[in-house]
Chains A and B, each alone.
Chain A
Amino acid sequence: MSTSKKTVINNNKKLTSKSKDPVSLILRILVWCAAALTIMILFVIIGYILYKGIPNLSLDLFDLEYNTQNVSLMPALINTVIMTILSITIAVPLGIFSAIYLTEYARRGSRLVKIVRITAETLSGIPSIIYGLFGLLFFVTTLHWGFSMLAGGFTLSIMILPLIMRTTEEALHAVPDSYREGSYGLGAGKMRTVFTIVLPSATPGILAGVILAIGRIVGETAALIYTSGTVADIPDSLLSSGRTLSVHMYALSSEGLFMDKAYATAVVLIILVILLNRISSYTAGKISKS
């Protein structure tokens, strides 16, 4: 696998600049342009928002109180943190435990494993608005939680569950079997082996997945509008409504009254996401090195 990759890459290093026939030239130009365009899109989006937004960043944006004079993003930022903690607290144990079951306990190819795989795949393909609607029907209405952080948190935790499961499973698979054998060989039981040998070795991979999931939570809007609602204050309890930064961003830009604030909010959001993204690949990169 890895050797085949290498040959292809090495070949093109030596040979890309040589052929002169027009078809090859056109193909090469096409490929280069496409890649350049992709990168350009990223830079234009991020660059434009930073360019327009940074001058609008001001201290009063970070006031604790939101009102009509000052559409402070601070409450939304705090709500985002609460929402993240809530969803992560629910989804991470469930996701990790279920990955443990799939990799360490279940018989390979058992029917249950297949069903879990299929349903997890299905979950990861469902658009966030459907999650939002389900949250509205189930948590908000049927369970009578109302528009609340709790309803939003539970909705998001279902949404990120497949992501946590998949990354954890990959991380567990990457733990060499010799560690497990070594532990069993010393008379350790399954539980002890899993918790003291397998999980610690898989931690960086799991962490990278969790951070990726946090990125999803921070960026999510459609699943939250009708579950945690759009109240722009810090909630009194988990059963109160509160908007996260992304919902705040949507509200600002659809109202159209505070565009400069919307730019500034976008800057904060984008910086948050870039940061999370970098931390995640840094943690993931650490495992592939060791």
Chain B
Amino acid sequence: MLKKKEQFMRLIFLFSACTSIIAVFLICIFLFANGIPAMSKIGVFNFLLGKNWKPSNALFGILPMILGSIYVTAGAILIGVPIGVLTAMYLSLFCPKKLYRLIKPAIELLAGIPSVVYGFFGLVVLVPFIRNYIGGNGSVMLTASILLGMMILPTIINVSESAIRAVPSNYYEGGRALGASHERSAFFVILPAAKSGVFASIVLGVGRAIGETMAVIMVAGNQARMPKGLLKGVRTLTANIVIEMGYAADLHREALIATAVVLFIFILIINLSFSLLNRKSI
């Protein structure tokens, strides 16, 4: 009787453990089954390298969006990584304990702010700011990059901070023993020792940025054309899906799902490199 109950619960636990496998499996199946046929209909080359996205003319080239995603993400990295890594340095090596207890929750909070709120903030603050002081109509690549740079800060900070903290203290002491100042030891001894963890944080940040949807839509302009410059509007892969999914049908709809497949593959590659980097740092 009791044995049976134990066996039964064990099966329940086992089944639950399998849900994440089933989920990943289903996600892959449904995305690929709906997206791959469209790619072959359009032609893989025309799809991935086509410069024109004009669903009404049956032109489904997503190169503009691929580049858009890459550019916006690169911009976000350029902005977010220096600030994030330096903040992580501050938190792990420079911050007095009392202040730490205030700053750390603040960074958790930064991670908790919903992306629509970031987007809204971008819309009402960053867009007018860029329009008035820098140029363009405000809903441009630069705005999206700045906003995404802010959004990936908590990811960069948290992962980098734990990597820096994991560096054994004898590295630091070694640096100090050679007469290096605290700052020099921190930057030229500890930081290099933590580099694979810091890289991992950047990779994770790339994943966040490239997958971010709502905030980008609200500030990037979303023109489906080849990116033309920092102060011109741009459309990312994620934006392409959300903006057109509502009314797309037939091949157009499948082409959007294929867009998601491309995004998904990007993310898988990023995840893979993250776990490889992570393994290295341990």
Contacts and interface: CB of A to CB of B under 8 A. Distances in A.
Direct contact of A and B (CB under 8 A): yes
Interface of A: 3-5, 7-9, 11-13, 15-16, 18-19, 21, 23-25, 27-28, 30-35, 37-39, 41-42, 44-46, 48-49, 52, 93-98, 100-102, 104-106, 112, 115-116, 118-123, 125-134, 136-138, 142, 158, 161-162, 165, 189-191, 215, 218-222, 225-226, 246, 249-250, 253-254, 259, 262-263, 266, 269-270, 273-274, 276-278, 281
Contacts of A165: 20
Given A4-B168, A11-B176, A121-B275, A273 B21 contact: no
Contacts, number: 283
A24 B94 CA distance: 12
A97 B87 contact: no
16 contacts: A5-B169, A7-B173, A8-B172, A24-B182, A31-B86, A34-B82, A97-B12, A97-B13, A128-B211, A158-B23, A158-B27, A161-B20, A219-B112, A221-B116, A249-B117, A277-B105
Contacts of A32: 90, 94
B86 to A, nearest CB: 3
B181 A24 contact: yes
B16 A126 contact: no
Interface in B47-99: 82-87, 89-97
Contacts of A37: 83, 87
A98 B26 CA distance: 18
B257 interface: yes
Contacts of B103: 35, 39
B2 interface: yes
B181 A19 contact: yes
Q: For chain B, which range describes its interface: under 10, 10 to 19, 20 to 34, or 35 or more residues? A: 35 or more
Nearest to A225: B242
A34 to B, nearest CB: 3
A123 B13 contact: no
Contacts of A137: 30-31, 34, 257
Contacts of A16: 94, 182
Given A97-B13, A137-B34, 12 more contacts: A8-B93, A34-B87, A38-B87, A38-B110, A119-B23, A123-B23, A126-B27, A133-B257, A138-B26, A249-B114, A266-B120, A274-B112
B45 interface: no
A191 B5 contact: yes
Nearest to A277: B112
A279 to B, nearest CB: 11
Given A222-B213, A270-B117, A98 B87 contact: no
Which 5 A-B residue pairs are closest in the complex by CB-CB distance? Answer: A127-B211, A219-B114, A34-B86, A19-B181, A97-B16
B107 interface: yes
Interface stretch (B36-44, B130-138, B227-235, B261-269): B261-269
A270 B113 contact: yes
A184 to B, nearest CB: 13
B182 A101 contact: no
Nearest to A116: B17
Give the most central of B19, B103, B110, B168: most A CB within 10 Å: B19
